[in-house]
Structure formats: structure tokens, C-alpha cells
């Protein structure tokens, strides 16, 4: 079969709040080929990403992504890395490409899995999918008291691990940050796995970040996530030399597998965190997972949105038994929670496993699309280059 | 003063050819503040970059770039890095941001230089601007004979250095690549500085790239540029261990200063090449130039388009006397050549120096804008979020 069409659904909640919650909107990608369809989700600015699909060519290495996708043969798992590579080459200088490619690549794997009646993890070569221990991923409260309550709720809901991130953390004093971490530990109890996400707040400032280490160590935090921007390899390395029991985790900003390879090589990480919806889809995420396994760095998904994104994030390392933690969104928007007709919820042992079903194993809910769809129209010289309308 | 407005001009040649010539279109940015204006150019896909200016917010770290620019105070050179940093933080997850920020940052420096009646290089702290030796930058011919003729023309036109890139190089056999390089050396003569640009053709394949080293060494090529994509730090490092007299040059794909820092730290480069229109503008390029000077790696601009882009690329290292080579486009499109009312051409000694005039020292030609302007309209839910129309 050949790729017949790619279309986009830009979904958004009625109100987008100025908080670190990436589930407030979504860019869904549907690929159709030979009567089959597959779905993917970009973790990206929907409008800008849509513009990259069919923008006018600038030169031979800055082409619209559609040039490398439409009409391509798609019959075998090997076709996807081939198409993927073609996109990267022909749209090398179009920066937004990697975020768009992510959604398309995910949809291609979903489509091929449905067609071949095989879960994606098996197309990738894994024999079985191991259950992962989900950590409840959420924002810090505005006050330590709120953080304490959130952590208590996590324990009540039977999660054995929790992550708190963004919000006030790193924006106030060392004491205030310490109070939040301590409140999280107290709420979670002594035995829960506690993770902290600084959301790149210190950019590349090792000194400021290192003042937080003492409290993190004392509260037995397993990892400090994203103290710095992804590219600040030297800053990560320096902090890793001081962090002792607290491991460093990072990688969600990587938009190519090579960025993650570099972080694993030079940044002193204990955990590499990959968002399949940003790194270039399942093809790139799988490459990172394989490299992580070789280097004995723990691979973890980065997922803060829908079950579709969660399934796509877990497939690349589903078969790696010793990489056993997964991010699990517990504060996602209604839009994100209702994007699919079925959910992925913890089993009786509190574990999450990818669906044992073709492709990504989830069906999109058309009612959710209809409810949250945004209308987009992009015109160049009166020609419509990209459009998405309510049905 | 405060930043009152930012507007865009998407210019394009009537026909865009499928060749590695980035001068076939342009995205011009004009910033206005307190009755002054400044101009910058993004080296980017114009449509996609415009979409990033005023797209709907997705979350607190994925805001439209306009949120961090409009109404910001602009009085002092220190205001620009402050605005720059705000953009990076508030649009962290909007990938295209860095290319858009580049044009805005350049326009801010131009505006402030005009207002303060000072060349940008002086605002950056350099006392004087040193002349640079321009290398004639062009594409390989389709055949070795064409490459030979192009190289001869370079010598006839009194250039002492030339670079050939893209086109067939790296896409045929080792023998064919060798023939092109040898033709370039013969056409240029024994004493010219010869540079070769592989345009990332080998991605991260060290083995394939290393088969080209013998011919490059024999033809006394000063640098091999971009054998690999920018993020393939390990591949660069491995090739650098084998390249002997041929130095490695790379960096044009860097869209943050940190990417260039990483290349300088880990990739074994002899030259770091920065496109001010991609790396985040003059602010980021200057940071890279300072780091390059510390590390004794030669800084070179990457410029294949207009004199406006050339001036913006030279300012960040204008005061670094020992970093004395510069890229000089000799095959730019009419659009690029006529974008400004004045040109930057080699002096009687064959050298290029930034204009001794306020800001970037060049005036935009309104006739060129009128002639090549493309009409763009981007609407979300029937609200126009970005527009550019012919006057």
C-alpha cells in the first residue's frame, strides 16, 4: 500500500491556563493508506506544527514534510525508518519538522500494526511487553500544604511512586523549595518513590541548582529531573558529580535520537526520559531505548497527556524488563483523558502494560474530536496550504 | 522606549528550485520601538516561522513568541539578552522559536544601534572591527568540469579562498567525489584556500565519510564541512581522529548557543560555523564567538543569503582579529542581493569589513520587498493570528 493522506486535528480545552500542563491542547495526526488508518499525537504547538506539513519549499533541505510522506510505499516495518529518514533529510532546515514527524511516525506504526494485526512492540522486535511501575506525575502545589495534600492523595490512590514538578519549584528560595520537597515526602510516606522535576528552571546554572541537593538527598528523592535545558550537557555533568544518591533525569526536550545519545554520553544521567511525541516518534525513541539498554542508563517515557501518547511512549521500551518505571499522567485534562474510547489504568498489582492489541491498541473517540476541534486555515498567496475544520 | 510592533515580510523568488540554495526565499523581520526601527532576517522556513509569532498558547512553556517581545522595555544593550532569555523560557517547547527569535534578536540589535548611533559590534563591546578574508561560497557543479570552471571563475574574480558544497558531493562514488575536489583544486590554483562542504550527506556514518579523506588531504583542503548532522557529536569526534591535515568545520545547524558549546567541547572541530539567523541571533552568536576564542577554535560565520544576513553574521566576531575568515555568498539570488540598498563587497585588498555605521549599517530596499512579497494569512477559529500582505 501507499500513504494516501495525512490529516490533522487541533484540539484544545475552552480555556488554556498559564501553567505547566501540556495536556490542555493536542495535535492529532491521522494517516490513511490502502483503506487502513493509524493515529499519532505530536507533543507540540499544534498550529506551528500544522504549518510545517505543507509550507512552500525554501530549498532542497527545507521542504514541506508532506513531500517525503505522501505516496510513499508502506508495507513492512522497515518502510517507516526509511520514510522517517527521508523526512529528516529533506526537511533538515525546517526546525519544527521533528515535532511533526513525531506524530506522523507514531501514526505509521499504529497503522502498520493494525494492518498486520500486531502490537507495535512486536513490530519493533520485542517478544513480550513487561508491566511498568507507574509514577503519578503531577504539578507541585502552590504551597507546601497543597503539595502535602497532593502527595497524600497519591498514597491513598495506591501509587507507589510520585513525581512533583514545575509550579513554584526553583523560583523561590532554597528554603521554600526544601519545604515543598519535604511536604511531598511526608505526604507520600517513607516507602514511596519520590521524584522531583525542576522544569529547566536553572537553565545552566550549576551553583543555584546545587543548593537544592541537600534537601533532595535528605528526603531520599530518587531523581532530580531537568535542572537545566537539554543542551546544557556540561552543566548536567558538573551537577552529576555532586548529586550523590540523587540521580539526574532528563531528555524530554530531545527532538532527535542523537540529542539523547549525547545526553547519555556526556551529561552523567541516571535516567533518560523520552517523549515519543517530540523525539521523532517511535522510530527515534526505540533507537534511544536500545542505546540506553547498552549503556545501562534507565529509559523512562515522558508523557503528560493522553492514553494514545502513553501507549506510543511505552512501546519503544516495552520489552526491556529492567527498565521498569513509567510516567503516568494523573492530572490530564478532560480532552486528553477522553481522547480514546478506552483507558490504560493500573492493574491489580498497580502496574501499567501496553494493550495486547494491534497497533497502539486504542481507538480514538470521535465525539472528543468533535467537541474540542479548533478551526485552522493557512493560506499563502490565496492558496490553502493547510486546513482543519469542524465537521 | 518599548517594543511597539513586530512585522514580517515573506519574500520569495518566482521559482524555488530543488537545489541547496537557501537564498531563494527570505523572512524579514521589522521591529519598531519609540519611533525607531530595526531589521533582521531568519534563516528559516518563512511560513512556519511566522506561525510561531502569534500561535495560541499551549501551556506555560509553549507560548507564542509575541508574548515575550511586545511591550518589553528596550533602552540598553542589556535589554536584548533579557528579552531573548524570556522568549527561550516561555517558548521552550515551541521548536520553531529559535529560528524566529534569531530574526527578532538581530532586528533588536539593529534598532538599538541606530537609536544609539553605534555599530552593533561596538554595542557588543568590541573597540574595532577587523577585516575578514572572504571565501567565495558556492555549490559544486553537476560535473567535475563545471566545478573546475566555477573554481577558475573564483580565481579570476580575485578571491583567495573558495568553498564548494552540496550538489553531487557525497551522493556518488568515492572516485566521483575525488574528481570534484581535484577539479576544484585545479581550477582554484595551488595557492588558494580550498574548503569542501558535504551538507550532512553522511548523517552519522563515519566509515563512508572517512573514505573521502585521502582525496581531501591530497588536494590540501583546509576543512571538511558538515560530513554529519550537527547532533552527531560522536561521529564528528571519531572522524576528527583520522582527518589529519583536514580540519572539521560544522555548526550551522545549531539553534542554541549550547549546541555550539557542545560541538566545541566534544566534536573535535577546527572551525565552528554559526548562522546568526538560526542560532538565536546576535546574542547567541556572540556567546559562541567568545567561547570559541577561549577554546582557540576558529569562529566563522555561515551566510548564504543577503548582505543584511552577512552584516548580522559578522558583528558577533568582528572584533576577534585572529578569527579572520568569513563566508561570502557569491551565488545569492537577485532577491537576496537586492534586499538592501547598499552592498558589502571586498575592498582593494580583497577583504570584507562590517559597515562603520549605526546598527547593522544597511538600509532595506522597499522595492525589493514590494516585488518579492508573498501573501500569508493564518487563521484560528476565524481569528487572524498572523498576516502579511502586499502593499
Q: Which of A26, A45, A381 to mutate to test the interface with B (most CBs of B within 10 A)?
A: A45
pLDDT-based confidence at residue B287 (cuts at 50, 70, 90): very high
Say whether B51 and A378 touch across the interface (CB within 8 A): yes
**Partner A contacted by B241 (CB < 8 A):** no
Mean pLDDT of B48-64: 97
Mean pLDDT of B304-319: 97
Chain A residue at shortest CA distance from B100: A95
* CB contact set of A312 (below 8 Å; sequence gap of 6+): A40, A41, A106, A109, A110, A120, A276, A277, A281, A282, A360
Pairing of β A161-165 and β B3-12 = unpaired
User: pLDDT per position in chain A (391 positions), as tens?
Assistant: 999 999 999 999 999 999 989 999 999 999 999 999 999 999 999 999 999 999 999 999 999 999 999 999 999 999 999 999 999 999 999 999 999 999 999 999 999 999 999 999 999 999 999 999 999 988 999 999 999 999 999 999 999 999 999 889 999 999 999 999 999 999 999 999 999 999 999 999 999 999 999 999 999 999 999 999 999 999 999 999 999 999 999 999 999 999 999 999 999 999 999 999 999 999 999 999 999 999 999 999 999 999 999 999 999 999 999 999 999 988 899 999 999 999 999 999 999 999 999 999 999 999 999 999 999 999 999 999 988 887 5
Chain B residue at shortest CA distance from A91: B45
d(CA A42, CA B58): 12
Q: Please give the ipTM for the structure prediction.
A: 0.96
CB < 8 Å to A98, chain B: 95
CB < 8 Å to B375, chain A: 379-382
Chain B residue at shortest CA distance from A203: B89
**For A60, which of B20, B57, B62 is closest by C-beta distance?**
B20
Say whether A45 and B58 touch across the interface (CB within 8 A): yes
Say whether A233 and B258 touch across the interface (CB within 8 A): yes
Say whether B98 and A95 touch across the interface (CB within 8 A): yes
CB < 8 Å to B99, chain A: 95
d(CA A196, CA A246): 10
**Partner A contacted by B321 (CB < 8 A):** no
| Per-residue pLDDT, A331 | 86
| Per-residue pLDDT, B336 | 97
Say whether A55 and B47 touch across the interface (CB within 8 A): yes
Residue A307 has φ and ψ, to the nearest 5°, of -70, -30
Interface of A with B in 93-152 (CB under 8 A): 93-96, 98-99
d(CA B352, CA B346): 5
d(CA B180, CA A66): 33
Residue A231 has φ and ψ, to the nearest 5°, of -80, -5
Contact (Cβ atoms closer than 8 angstroms) between residue A199 and residue A164: no
**Partner A contacted by B240 (CB < 8 A):** no
Chain B residue at shortest CA distance from A259: B231
Q: Which of B10, B44, B47 to mutate to test the interface with A (most CBs of A within 10 A)?
A: B47
Write down how long chain B is. 391
Reduced to 3 states, what is the DSSP secondary structure of residue A173?
A: coil
Say whether B61 and A20 touch across the interface (CB within 8 A): yes
- Residue keyed to cell 577558475: B152
Query: In chain A, where does DSSP find H-type helix?
Result: 46-51, 79-90, 97-115, 120-123, 144-156, 174-188, 206-210, 213-218, 233-240, 257-266, 276-279, 281-295, 307-314, 334-337, 366-372
**Partner B contacted by A72 (CB < 8 A):** no
CB < 8 Å to B12, chain A: 56
CB < 8 Å to B260, chain A: none
**Partner B contacted by A57 (CB < 8 A):** yes
**For B25, which of A58, A229, A255 is closest by C-beta distance?**
A58
**Partner B contacted by A15 (CB < 8 A):** no
CB < 8 Å to B43, chain A: 93
d(CA B180, CA B171): 12
Q: Which of A51, A63, A226, A275 to mutate to test the interface with B (most CBs of B within 10 A)?
A: A51
* CB contact set of B383 (below 8 Å; sequence gap of 6+): none
- Provide the shortest C-alpha distance from residue A118 to chain B (in Å): 31
Interface of B with A in 174-233 (CB under 8 A): 199-200, 203-204, 229, 231-233
Say whether B59 and A16 touch across the interface (CB within 8 A): yes
Which pLDDT tens digit goes with each residue over B312-361? 999 999 999 999 999 999 889 999 999 999 999 999 999 999 999 999 99
For the record, the C-alpha cell of B352 comes out as 570584507
- Provide the shortest C-alpha distance from residue B11 to chain A (in Å): 10
**Partner A contacted by B259 (CB < 8 A):** yes
**For A375, which of B51, B231, B380 is closest by C-beta distance?**
B380
**For B48, which of A18, A55, A266 is closest by C-beta distance?**
A55
Residue B101 in this model has a pLDDT that exceeds 70: yes
Q: What is the full DSSP assignment across A268-283?
A: --SEEEE-HHHHTHHH
CB < 8 Å to A228, chain B: none
Q: Determine how many CB atoms are found less than 10 A away from the CB of residue B73.
A: 12
Say whether B58 and A25 touch across the interface (CB within 8 A): yes
Residue B251 in this model has a pLDDT that exceeds 70: yes
**Partner B contacted by A363 (CB < 8 A):** no
For the record, the C-alpha cell of B208 comes out as 563512508
Contacts across the A-B interface (CB distance below 8 Å): 215
pLDDT-based confidence at residue B391 (cuts at 50, 70, 90): low
Say whether B234 and A266 touch across the interface (CB within 8 A): no
| Per-residue pLDDT, A38 | 98
**Partner A contacted by B86 (CB < 8 A):** no
- Provide the shortest C-alpha distance from residue B190 to chain A (in Å): 32
- Provide the shortest C-alpha distance from residue B265 to chain A (in Å): 9
3-state SS track over chain B: CEEEEEEEEEEECCCCCCCCCCCCEEEEEEEEECCEEEEEEECCCHHHHHHCCCCCCCECCECCHHHHCCCCECCCCCHHHHHHHHHHHHCCCCCCHHHHHHHHHHHHHHHHHHHHCCEHHHHCCCCCCCCEEEEEEEECCCCHHHHHHHHHHHHHCCCCEEEEECCCCCCCCHHHHHHHHHHHHHHHCCCCEEEEECCCCCCCCHHHHHCCHHHHHHCCEEEEECCCCCCCHHHHHHHHCCCCCCEEEECCCCCCHHHHHHHHHHCCCCEEEECHHHHCHHHHHHHHHHHHHHHCCEEEECCCCCHHHHHHHHHHHCCCCCCCEEEEECCCCHHHHCCECCCCCCCCCCCECCCCCCECCCCECHHHHHHHECCEEEEECCEEEEEECCC
d(CA B92, CA A316): 25
d(CA B208, CA B29): 40
pLDDT-based confidence at residue B48 (cuts at 50, 70, 90): very high
Which pLDDT tens digit goes with each residue over B125-164? 999 999 999 999 899 999 999 999 999 999 999 999 999 9
Contact (Cβ atoms closer than 8 angstroms) between residue B331 and residue B337: no
Residue A304 has φ and ψ, to the nearest 5°, of -130, 15
**Partner A contacted by B41 (CB < 8 A):** no
**Partner A contacted by B45 (CB < 8 A):** yes
Q: Determine how many CB atoms are found less than 10 A away from the CB of residue B340.
A: 22
**For B231, which of A45, A89, A259 is closest by C-beta distance?**
A259
**For B375, which of A200, A204, A382 is closest by C-beta distance?**
A382
| Per-residue pLDDT, A252 | 96
Give every strand in the sheet of A376-380, ordered side by side: A383-388, A376-380, B376-380, B383-388
CB < 8 Å to A256, chain B: 229, 231
- Provide the shortest C-alpha distance from residue A85 to chain B (in Å): 10
Amino acid at each position: 500500500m501507499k500513504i494516501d493522506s495525512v490529516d490533522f486535528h487541533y484540539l484544545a480545552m475552552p480555556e488554556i491556563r498559564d501553567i505547566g500542563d501540556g495536556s490542555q491542547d493536542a495535535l492529532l495526526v491521522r494517516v490513511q493508506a490502502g483503506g487502513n488508518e493509524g493515529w499519532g499525537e505530536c507533543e507540540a504547538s499544534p498550529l506551528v506544527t500544522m504549518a510545517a506539513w505543507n509550507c512552500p519549499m525554501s530549498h532542497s533541505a527545507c521542504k514541506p514534510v508532506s513531500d517525503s510522506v505522501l505516496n510513499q510505499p508502506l508495507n513492512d516495518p522497515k518502510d517507516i525508518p526509511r520514510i522517517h529518514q527521508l523526512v529528516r533529510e529533506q526537511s533538515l532546515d525546517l526546525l519544527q519538522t521533528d515535532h511533526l514527524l513525531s506524530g506522523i511516525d507514531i501514526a505509521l506504526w499504529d497503522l502498520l500494526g493494525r494492518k498486520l494485526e500486531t502490537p507495535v512492540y512486536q513490530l519493533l522486535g520485542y517478544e513480550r511487553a513487561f508491566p511498568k511501575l507507574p509514577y503519578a506525575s503531577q504539578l507541585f502545589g502552590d504551597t507546601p500544604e497543597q503539595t502535602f495534600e497532593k502527595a497524600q492523595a497519591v498514597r491513598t490512590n495506591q501509587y507507589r511512586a510520585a513525581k512533583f514538578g514545575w509550579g513554584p519549584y526553583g523560583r523561590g528560595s532554597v528554603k521554600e523549595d526544601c519545604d515543598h520537597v519535604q511536604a511531598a515526602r511526608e505526604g507520600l510516606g517513607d516507602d514511596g518513590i519520590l521524584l522531583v522535576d525542576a522544569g529547566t528552571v536553572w537553565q545552566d546554572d550549576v551553583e543555584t541548582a546545587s543548593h537544592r541537593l541537600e534537601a533532595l538527598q535528605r528526603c531520599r528523592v530518587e531523581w532530580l529531573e531537568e535542572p537545566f535545558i537539554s543542551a546544557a550537557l556540561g552543566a548536567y555533568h558538573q551537577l552529576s558529580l555532586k548529586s550523590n544518591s540523587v540521580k539526574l533525569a532528563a531528555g524530554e526536550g530531545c527532538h532527535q535520537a542523537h540529542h539523547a545519545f549525547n545526553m547519555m554520553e556526556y551529561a552523567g544521567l541516571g535516567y533518560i526520559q523520552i517523549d515519543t511525541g517530540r523525539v521523532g516518534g517511535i522510530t527515534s525513541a526505540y533507537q534511544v531505548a536500545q542505546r540506553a539498554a547498552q549503556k545501562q542508563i534507565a529509559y523512562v517515557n515522558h508523557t503528560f497527556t493522553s492514553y494514545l501518547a502513553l501507549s506510543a511512549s511505552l512501546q519503544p521500551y516495552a520489552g526491556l524488563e529492567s527498565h521498569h518505571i513509567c510516567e503516568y499522567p494523573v492530572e490530564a485534562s478532560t480532552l486528553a483523558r477522553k481522547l480514546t474510547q478506552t483507558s490504560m489504568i493500573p492493574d491489580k498489582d498497580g502496574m501499567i502494560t501496553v494493550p495486547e492489541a494491534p497497533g497502539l491498541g486504542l481507538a480514538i473517540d470521535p465525539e472528543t474530536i468533535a467537541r474540542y476541534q479548533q478551526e485552522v486555515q493557512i493560506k499563502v498567496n490565496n492558496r490553502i496550504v493547510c486546513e482543519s475544520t469542524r465537521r
